[in-house]
Amino acid sequence: MAENVKPRVRVPRSATAGEAFEIKTLISHKMESGQRKDSDGNPIPRSIIYHFSCDFNGENVFQAQLEGAISTNPYFQFDAVIQESGTFTFTWLDDDGSEYSDSKDITVG
Amino acid sequence: MKKFTLSATIAASLALFAGSASAQVNLDAVLSIDGTAITTRAPAPDFLDIDEVISGWVYRAKETQATQMDDFENPAMLFVDQAMDDWNRVDGSEGKSCASCHTNGPEEFAGLRAELPRWDADRGQMMNMEDYINYNRVTYMGAEPLKWAKPRMDAMVALISLQSRGMPINVAIDGPVADIWAQGEEIYYTRVGQLDMACANCHEDNFGNMIRADRLSQGQINGFPTYRLKNAKLNSVQARFKGCMKNIRAEPYAVGSDEFRALELYVASRGNGLSVEGPSVRN
Amino acid sequence: MQFTRRDTLAMGAGAAVATLVPLQAFAGPNEDEMAAFANGAEITDGGVELTAPEIAENGNTVPISVSAPGATNILVIATGNPNPRVIEFMFGPLAGSQTASTRCRLAGTQDVIALAKMADGSVKRASATVKVTIGGCGG
């Protein structure tokens, strides 16, 4: 497990059915791209978060396949639209096999 | 395949100059962070020859500025979150966390960052944020002191600095710290290193100008600790001092040294009147 | 590319800016990525927007946004990076729009391309030139 990986998500507490709203996510991760070399000149192997997914009540909202060119502490902003109350789940997959997740409840008035 | 001749390269570079001319500094840009108004320009303290002191925020590209205007956009806040975990974590022989004594949370420290570094009569010395954090860890928690300019300490400094966001920097320069302040002032104006430059050469004589591809600021520290895009992490005041000295090919003073402590006091006072920004975002 | 002192001085008064010469857009990796994504469909311009700064303050963290109403996937390619693939966004049934923003690393001044795959399989393209400056006091 990469060290000190902490997700942060921003989801509104409530939304109107059928009306799109913004979601933002951030996660602390070095995103070692595989392009850097250590002081001896040896390449430092790639170790990044390669996949991100946002789902709501089991249905997919948004996914991304990341490469080494995504900056340290990957950031996403995207929109969701839902019809009912429920829970957003966010999942990040790491090259080293780890999985990080977070979730947020939302009510539809 | 395009061929890049020398003249094409020169033309491209000149075009870049033209491009950077359009990225002028906007002195009228206003910073408000999640509703808290931030003073980024203030009348300069009496001891300065310049008219106005200006936060480093003003000198950054508008995309960088935007990243600081919202606590979610600001990646520094990831580290503030980590510091909050640390705040609640038991550490040391006494079985305590920061929260054990500071029961009202880091909010108890509103105003502290704005006054540091300051003379502490009980301690009989000038103290900065790192000093206070470690003094309390060692004395009350029986915990190891945190290393300066390392992630765990920088994050905690950011957490506590955040509590003074929006408050004007108000650092004392007289009384028991007068001599230290004078030492800091001397360091600021002394040329050092292979490039034979003093802090003032860039940050007083040339703020607003470009140094190679970077826009020079006044070198204020009201926004520290700062998340730098360059290294994608929090940076402390004295770590930046060290970096600046290395850039002019001088042998840097040590982090935590008397010289850097004096310089931190002096540089902080140059920003008296500017708001504490909480952890900022810079290049 | 090495600049002689004369060349550097010739580039104008004031500070000499060390800019990376825009990397040559080799036909190989960029075209391969785009062809793989397009899967035989013709790539046409328009229908997708790519927002990126004209001048990136630091190549380590460059904010980019893409928008393509009706798209299922959007691929971002940095034509001057060692690996051109930057990110591929996939919009699910609950996506509120086909827009996304992120922050990426650009190795030098280059063209960034966004390709959007539409529901009918057609592929749209937008491109933006981002100037990435390297070298300042901060390094």
Structure tokens at B49: 């020859």
Could you give the number of structural domains in chain C? 1
The question of whether B244 is a catalytic residue gets the answer yes
**What per-residue confidence (pLDDT) applies to C14?**
42
Q: Residue C66 falls within a domain, yes or no?
A: yes
**What per-residue confidence (pLDDT) applies to A61?**
98
Interval C34-50 mean pLDDT: 95
Pick from C62, C87, C100: CB nearest A67: C87
- Residue B37 neighbours by CB distance under 10 Å: 11
- Give the CATH number of the domain where residue C51 resides: 2.60.40.2470
Enumerate residues 6+ apart whose C-beta is below 8 A from B151.
Answer: A4, B79, B82, B233, B234
pLDDT band, very low/low/confident/very high, at B85 (cuts 50, 70, 90): very high
pLDDT band, very low/low/confident/very high, at C137 (cuts 50, 70, 90): low
CB of A85 within 8 Å of a chain C CB? The answer is no
pLDDT band, very low/low/confident/very high, at A109 (cuts 50, 70, 90): confident
| Closest among B255, B227, B275, B278 to B64, alpha carbons compared | B227
Q: Do B78 and A72 touch (CB under 8 A)?
A: no
- What residues pair up with B239 in beta bridges, in sequence order? none
Mutate which of C57, C111, C131 to disrupt the B interface (most B C-beta within 10 Å)? Answer: C57
Domain limits for position C103: 5-132
Contact (Cβ atoms closer than 8 angstroms) between residue C107 and residue C19: no
Chains that touch A (3 or more CB pairs under 8 A): B, C
**What per-residue confidence (pLDDT) applies to C6?**
63
Strand B280-282 and strand B226-228: the pairing is: parallel
Q: Over chain C, what is the mean pLDDT?
A: 85
> Looking at this predicted complex, what is its ipTM?
0.95
Q: Over chain B, what is the mean pLDDT?
A: 92
**What per-residue confidence (pLDDT) applies to A2?**
66
d(CA B66, CA B163): 21
Q: Residue C24 falls within a domain, yes or no?
A: yes
Strand A59-66 and strand A49-56: the pairing is: antiparallel
For residue C29, the number of C-alpha atoms closer than 13 Å in the C-beta half-sphere is: 12
Q: Residue C139 falls within a domain, yes or no?
A: no
Q: Do A65 and C91 touch (CB under 8 A)?
A: no
3-state DSSP of chain B: CCCCCHHHHHHHHHHHHHHHHHCCCCCCCCEEECCEEECCEEECCCCCCCCEEECHHHHCCHHHHHHHCCCCCCCHHHHHHHHHHHHCCCCCCCCCCHHHHCCCCHHHHCCHHHHCCEEECCCCEEECHHHHHHHHHHHHHCCCCCCCCCHHHHHHHHHHHHCCCCCECCCCCCHHHHHHHHHHHHHHHCCECCCCECHHHHHCCCCCCEECCEECCCCCCCCCCEEECCCCEEECHHHHHHHHHHHCCCCCCCCCCHHHHHHHHHHHHHCECEECCCCEEEC
Structure tokens at B144: 């190891």
Q: Residue C90 falls within a domain, yes or no?
A: yes
* Phi then psi dihedrals of residue C73, to 5 deg: -135, 150
What are C45-78's pLDDT values in tens digits? 999 999 999 999 999 999 999 999 999 999 999 9
Q: Do B16 and C17 touch (CB under 8 A)?
A: yes
Name the residue in chain C with its Cα closest to that of B66. C63
CB contacts, 8 Å: A27 with chain B? 78
Measured in angstroms, the CA of C7 and the nearest CA of chain A are apart by 31
User: Has this prediction a pTM greater than 0.80?
Assistant: yes
Q: Name the more confident of B217 and B214.
A: B217
Interval B54-66 mean pLDDT: 95
pLDDT band, very low/low/confident/very high, at B110 (cuts 50, 70, 90): very high
CB contacts, 8 Å: C97 with chain A? 20, 78-79
Name the residue in chain C with its Cα closest to that of B8. C21
Contact (Cβ atoms closer than 8 angstroms) between residue A32 and residue A47: yes
Interval A34-58 mean pLDDT: 95
Q: Do C11 and B1 touch (CB under 8 A)?
A: no
Q: Do A8 and B81 touch (CB under 8 A)?
A: yes
Q: Residue C10 falls within a domain, yes or no?
A: yes
Contact (Cβ atoms closer than 8 angstroms) between residue A4 and residue B82: yes
CB contacts, 8 Å: C106 with chain A? 69
Please state which of the ranges A23-32, B13-22, B68-77, C60-69 shows the lowest mean pLDDT: B13-22
Q: Is residue B212 over pLDDT 90?
A: no
What are B141-172's pLDDT values in tens digits? 999 999 999 999 999 999 999 999 999 999 99
- What residues pair up with A62 in beta bridges, in sequence order? A54, C91
Interval B68-90 mean pLDDT: 96
**What per-residue confidence (pLDDT) applies to C63?**
96
Chains that touch B (3 or more CB pairs under 8 A): A, C
Q: Residue C13 falls within a domain, yes or no?
A: yes
Q: Do C104 and A68 touch (CB under 8 A)?
A: no
**What per-residue confidence (pLDDT) applies to C25?**
45
Interval A68-74 mean pLDDT: 97
CB contacts, 8 Å: A48 with chain C? none
Sheet holding B233-235, edge to edge: B233-235, B226-228, B280-282
Q: Residue C33 falls within a domain, yes or no?
A: yes
